[in-house]
Amino acid sequence: MTRKLFGTDGVRGRANTDPMTAEMALKLGAAAGRYFRRDQSPVHRVVIGKDTRLSGYMIENALTAGFTSTGMNVLLLGPVPTPAVGLLTPSMRADVGVMISASHNPATDNGIKFFGPDGFKLSDEAEQEIERLVFSDITPAQSENIGRAKRIDDGRFRYIERVKGTFPQGRTLEGLKVVIDCANGAAYRAAPEVLWELGAEVIPLGVSPNGFNINDGVGSTAPGAAAARIRETGADLGICLDGDADRVILIDETGEVADGDQIMALFADRWAEEGRLKGHTLAATVMSNLGLERYLNDRSIVLHRTPVG
């Protein structure tokens, strides 16, 4: 089957232009709802998060209508990072999770990304079947079986607690001054709160979303703003996120952007020492440089390159 909707990271496009229209979001919600309601369980749930784009309201409501029309109950998280949807989908016993975002792209774009009940991206086969259902006749639920929608006000706090739980007990970030650039996106509240609660002195940037300024001169696609703030304030570290906070750029105390391959090498080295590196293998894209491969080879770590796009 030739794909018409799904790309490498869900369905994306310019907001209010095919395929990123309210009509298509409605059909996608109904198709995904029908796909995940294949068993006879009496309760079916979907968790929906979004970033701060203006079009998120339109797409969120359309998806909700589609899912509830097939009998799915919808739990609305509001603006949360993409990883929050991955974490909260299984913890809230949902059948499927959805993130409404176009990641690092401009505010005029948007996208819909699905997660399975395990919190991971759907398989190609699942996406193909949902796409097939979009272009077929979907039988709606009986009127007495229409789903409900509920806004989850503490979704961000649940995610914050999960993130903090990964930090070693008995350690804090006290004495560390951190510039955190949230790109006016999904992590504009969660990221500064996590750092502050762990003890850091937080210098926030890109935390005033207005629906149009996501990724606009701030965030991981424009780390210069954070670098300048580091030099102005004497901060120890800069962290730049993108619109949905699933990618990061790190900046050192001099305002220099850290090379991504170097960061991956450091993580791989440490995890290999701790026995946490699965298969003693690091997966990176074909864009990673030869220096990373040589560094890992010297430490008997396998580099697996994957295609981009």
Residue-by-residue DSSP string for 78-115: EE--HHHHHHHHHHTT-SEEEEE--TTS-TTEEEEEEE
Q: What does the alpha-carbon distance between residue 265 and residue 277 come to, in Å, rounded to a whole number?
A: 12
Question: What's the angle, vertex CA 305, arms to CA 302 and CA 307, rounded to 5?
Answer: 165
Taking alpha carbons only, the member of 278, 285, 290, 277 closest to residue 304 is 285
Q: Which of 55, 103, 220, 288 is catalytic?
A: 103
Ramachandran quadrant class, 244 (left: phi over 0; alpha: psi -120 to 50; beta: rest): alpha
Q: What does the alpha-carbon distance between residue 288 and residue 130 come to, in Å, rounded to a whole number?
A: 33
Find the helix or strand (DSSP H, E) in which 284 lies. strand 281-285
Instruction: Measure Cα distances from 120 to 19, 55, 141, 220, 236 in Å.
Output: 23, 25, 27, 23, 33
The verdict on whether 103 is a catalytic residue reads yes
Amino acid at 239: I
**Exposure b/e, 72-106, CB count within 10 A at least 16 = b:** bbbbbbbbbbbbbbbbbbbebebbbbbbbbbbbbb
> Residue 83 is encoded by which pair of tokens?
């990883």
Taking alpha carbons only, the member of 99, 122, 98, 100 closest to residue 109 is 100
DSSP annotation of 71 reads T
Active-site residues: which are they?
A: 103
